[in-house]
Amino acid sequence: VTVENAVRNLLSQSVCSKEDIKEVVKSYADVAKETQKEVIEQATLAQSSKKVVESVVRQMDADKVEREKRRTNVVVLSAPEPAKDSSSEDKQKEDKNFCTSVLGIPAKDIKVCWRAGKADESNPNYRRPLVIRLKDEELVIEWTKDGKGHKTESGHWINRDLCAADRKANFLSREERRKRQQKN
């Protein structure tokens, strides 16, 4: 049964012309077309929203895993680089010696330490962050002054090792705090 036939059957009691029927069918088609567009737009929006939500959930899961990996790490900034011509074992020993002698972290509390990033040969003053994995999270809290980070007497900063999302959140928080302080 076509729409035109259905309309004819409904309007059979009244007198109407073929043009009237075509006008009703055309109006119905326009309404149906608009409704279809709305339904398609809503379905597309729902589908794209679902993809966005799935992407955000995946990123949150990845950040959670990254946080778990870093929970017993601290980062020391501006620590001197070991000699370039040393072997990797000597460099690690030199870094561990720096942790114990300069920073005062007991050797028994250190699992391992390493440098983050690549050495910048073009800038001899560049110092890569020194990452130290401690025995447990309580030591991280102790050495970072309850996770806030602090500057040691030797002038080196010790902070928690944060994932990229946490570093960005901390940065935005500091920026917001600076803006509020400038207003006051």
Taking only the tens place, the pLDDT of each residue in 66-102 is 999 999 999 998 888 888 788 888 889 999 999 999 9
Sheet containing strand 157-160, strands side by side = 110-115, 130-134, 73-77, 157-160, 150-151
Asked if pLDDT for residue 155 goes beyond 60, the answer is yes
Asked if pLDDT for residue 134 goes beyond 90, the answer is yes
Look up residue 165 and give its two tokens.
């999302």
User: Confidence class of residue 181 from pLDDT cuts 50, 70 and 90?
Assistant: very high
Confidence (pLDDT) at 12: 59
Question: Where would I find the H helices in the chain?
Answer: 3-10, 18-70, 88-98, 137-143, 164-183
Question: Please, what sign has the CA dihedral across residues 5, 6, 9, 13?
Answer: negative
DSSP classification of residue 113: E
Range from 7-11, 38-42, 47-51, 117-121 carrying the lowest mean pLDDT: 7-11
Confidence (pLDDT) at 149: 85
Look up residue 127 and give its two tokens.
């110092």
Distance CA 26, CA 6 (A): 14
Measured at the alpha carbon of residue 161, what is the angle toward residues 158 and 162, in degrees to the nearest 5? 130
Between 83 and 58, whose confidence is greater?
58
Q: Stretch 161-169: mean pLDDT, rounded?
A: 90
User: For the chain, what is the mean pLDDT?
Assistant: 83
Asked if pLDDT for residue 27 goes beyond 60, the answer is yes
Asked if pLDDT for residue 1 goes beyond 60, the answer is no
Q: Stretch 17-26: mean pLDDT, rounded?
A: 62
Q: What is the pTM of this model?
A: 0.67
**For the chain, what is the largest distance between any 2 Cα atoms, rounded to a whole number of angstroms?**
104
